[in-house]
């Protein structure tokens, strides 16, 4: 069952309250059917956006695509209006993350009616896929991502230094290759040589530019081998920070819960004294 958002309480009207129960919760048969239909429409709309970019399909089925898009957009618009009408604090929903997402899922269609040549709205329409978070109630689990965010923030200083070193290394390698290849074989300028260095050091290897001279090939081997170790550096930095955070996180030996405040000494679920890394060092 979806957890209720206390900032989005239903209105007092009995009919609207029933509609509120259906569109905001999935603990009733009607609510489950509503979510399933919504999921099908989202997937269908996203698939249609992709198929419209295939010229052969768009030419053959363009009228069908337009009719289906109009129908789906009208349904999403009605749902959006009902979500606003059925809550007391309408601003809380309209300006919430999910409310803005719902709005973005319908507005591109209406804008495209006046500006049909603006293809960027096709990209915006794919944002409807993000509404799956609402259906599966994944937003409740986003707090777990704070653990990863803390690790990234703790690693920012090291990552900045690493990226600075990487940029300097790429510029130097690109400049060397420009000189070694004599400004030929695709290395016509230092920016193009830097592009080659980026492609090579990231192990992408498009192959549109490649050295011809023996010395250039030797440098390429060094850059390619260095690329493997360079890619692993940011991963190692973040992994190390995650490990440090995990060691500092209080954990309960009785119930196994480890989501506590950093300064907690007892489990907020069962009351057991928490095992903290600092306690082991004191012993």
pLDDT in tens, 56-110: 888 899 899 889 888 988 998 999 999 999 998 888 889 887 788 888 878 877 7
What average pLDDT does the structure give for the chain? Answer: 79
Contact assessment for residue 181 and residue 187, using Cβ atoms and an 8 Å cutoff: yes
Long-range CB pairs of 204-209 (<8 Å, 24+ gap) are 209/185
Predicted local distance difference test score (pLDDT) of residue 256: 56
Distance CA 116, CA 114 (A): 6
Q: Which of 52, 78, 76, 86 is nearest to 131 (CA)?
A: 76
- CATH class of the domain comprising 145-248: mainly alpha
Instruction: Please give the residue that has the higher pLDDT: either 247 or 208.
Output: 208
Per the CB < 8 A criterion, the answer to whether 267 and 274 are in contact is yes
* Better-scored residue on pLDDT, 212 or 143: 212
Residues in Cβ contact with 73 at an 8 Å cutoff, skipping those fewer than 6 apart: 106, 109, 110
Tokens for 155, please give them.
């690693």
pTM of the entire predicted model: 0.58
**Residue 169 confidence class, pLDDT cut points 50, 70, 90:** very high
Q: Is the pLDDT of residue 147 over 50?
A: yes
For every residue of 133-158, DSSP letters joined together read HHHTTGGGGGGGHHHHHHHHHHHHHH
Tell me which CATH homologous superfamily contains domain 14-141: Voltage-gated potassium channels. Chain C (1.20.120.350)
C-alpha 37, offset from chain centre = 24
Q: What stretch(es) of the chain map to CATH 1.20.120.350? A: 14-141
Start and end residues for every CATH 1.10.287.70 domain found in the chain: 145-248
pLDDT on residue 280 = 42
């Amino acid at each position: 069952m979806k957890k209720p958002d206390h900032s989005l309480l239903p209105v007092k009207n009995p009919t609207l309250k029933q509609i509120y129960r259906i569109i905001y919760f999935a603990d009733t048969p009607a609510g489950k059917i509503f979510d399933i239909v919504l999921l099908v429409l989202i997937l269908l709309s996203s698939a249609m956006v992709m198929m419209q970019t295939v010229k052969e399909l768009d030419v053959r089925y363009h009228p069908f695509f337009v009719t289906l898009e109009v129908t789906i957009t009208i349904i999403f618009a009605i749902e959006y209006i009902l979500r606003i009408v059925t809550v007391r604090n309408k601003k809380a929903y309209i300006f919430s993350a999910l409310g803005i997402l719902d709005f973005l899922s319908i507005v591109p269609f209406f804008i495209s009616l006046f500006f049909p040549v603006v293809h960027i709205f096709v990209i915006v329409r794919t944002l409807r896929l993000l509404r799956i978070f609402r259906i599966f109630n994944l937003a409740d689990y986003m707090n777990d991502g704070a653990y990863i965010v803390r690790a990234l923030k703790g690693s920012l200083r090291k990552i900045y230094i690493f990226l600075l070193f990487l940029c300097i290394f790429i510029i130097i390698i690109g400049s060397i290759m420009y000189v070694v290849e004599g400004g030929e074989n695709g290395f016509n300028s230092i920016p193009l040589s830097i592009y080659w260095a980026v492609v090579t050091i990231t192990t992408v290897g498009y192959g549109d530019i490649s050295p011809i001279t023996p010395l250039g090939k030797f440098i390429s081997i060094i850059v390619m081998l260095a690329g493997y170790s360079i890619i692993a550096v940011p991963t190692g930095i973040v992994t190390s920070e995650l490990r440090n955070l995990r060691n500092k996180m209080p954990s309960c030996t009785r119930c196994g819960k480890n989501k506590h405040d950093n300064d907690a000494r007892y489990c907020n679920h069962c009351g057991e004294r928490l095992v903290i890394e600092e306690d082991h060092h004191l012993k």
